[in-house]
Amino acid sequence: MPPMKYPRSRSLIAMIGAGVAALLAVVFLAYEPLSQPSPPARQEAREKPIPSLNCVFYDFTRASIVVGFDFAATLSEGAPPRFEERAKASRDGNQSIFEAGDRPVWAYAQDDDGHPTITSPDGATRVVLYGLKLDAVGAFFIEAGLRSTEYRNLNGQCQQANFGGALASMSKESSPAAQ
């Protein structure tokens, strides 16, 4: 049986209908009532970027991830960065998620070669952050090395996000023009 042919006008109407439906969906999803102000926390989250560092470390063949760490970063002018561990997940299925008040704080320093490092509170695990840029805006990957008795020495990468944006918003807040 030969395929049915529809007149061109039906397909044109169907295409226009699909376009209008897509446009209405976008408008509906993007709509926020103008009469109600946004809650302060939500409004602040839009204005200030939240700095974070997410690291994964691979086995020697780089075929699979051995362990991953997620950190919230706090950047203050004139003080070293502060890295709070939010979560950790291992290849063996172990995972830890830390609530805001119970997050381990990793110490920030530079190693003997001048590379930025963060060290776990017990000193057993150290992450070397090659190419960390505290003033960088946006998100990008940097090379990292894990030095640990539990995981041994592993290579990996970290994604740093919104470091420079956080410092820029802090300097605007503390500048005399902003007050």
* Domain residue ranges in the chain: 44-169
Q: Which residue has the tokens 């226009």?
A: 16
Among residues 73, 33, 65, 66, which one has the least CA distance to residue 161?
73
Q: What is the pLDDT of residues 70-121, one digit of tens each?
A: 999 998 888 899 999 999 999 999 999 999 899 999 999 999 999 999 999 9
* Helix H or strand E segment including 44: helix 40-47
Architecture of domain 44-169: Beta Barrel (2.40)
> CB of 164 within 8 A of CB of 136?
yes
- CA angle 163-71-153, nearest 5°? 110
* Helix H or strand E segment including 22: helix 8-30
Q: What is the pLDDT of residues 44-72, one digit of tens each?
A: 545 566 799 999 999 999 999 999 999 99
As a whole number of angstroms, the distance between CA 167 and CA 73 comes to 11
Among residues 92, 95, 85, 106, which one has the least CA distance to residue 59?
92
